[in-house]
Amino acid sequence: QVQLQESGPGLVKPSQTLSLTCTVSGGSINSGAYYWSWIRQHPGKGLEWIGYIYYSGTTYYNPSLKSRLTISLDTSKNQFSLKLSSVTAADTAVYYCAQSNRGLRDAFDIWGQGTMVTVSS
């Protein structure tokens, strides 16, 4: 049973870089069957796709965040990470990591529990 768990600071200062890590257990991140994804949800709002990375290192980013965004893999630790630079209060949200399953037409079939990140001085 694959499980995902987000980790990282819950508070980030404006203009700094938000960094989160997702640890994958029960499965290998080095699989061509999945994309490894980040999705966020602003308080009381809908979901927003941030981007994802394939095991080869190929990345796909939300165009609205692309200039500030880096998603990377650490296959030795079975983890993938998110870095979002120059954050503002508008980046305050619950951040989820998720597995996008190519066998289900890339549906996000497994999610982490989510981690709340607040941008504030």
Write down the least CB distance from residue 95 to other proteins, Å.
11
Write down the least CB distance from residue 39 to other proteins, Å.
8
Q: Nearer to other proteins by C-beta: 74 or 106?
A: 106
Write down the least CB distance from residue 13 to other proteins, Å.
27
Q: Nearer to other proteins by C-beta: 56 or 121?
A: 56
Q: Nearer to other proteins by C-beta: 10 or 121?
A: 10
Q: Which residues contact 51 (CB under 8 A, 6 or more apart)?
A: 37, 38, 59, 60, 61, 62, 65, 66, 69, 71, 82
Write down the least CB distance from residue 47 to other proteins, Å.
4
In the complex, the residues that contact other proteins under the rule CB under 8 A are 45-49, 51, 60-63, 96, 104-109, 111-114
Q: Nearer to other proteins by C-beta: 47 or 70?
A: 47
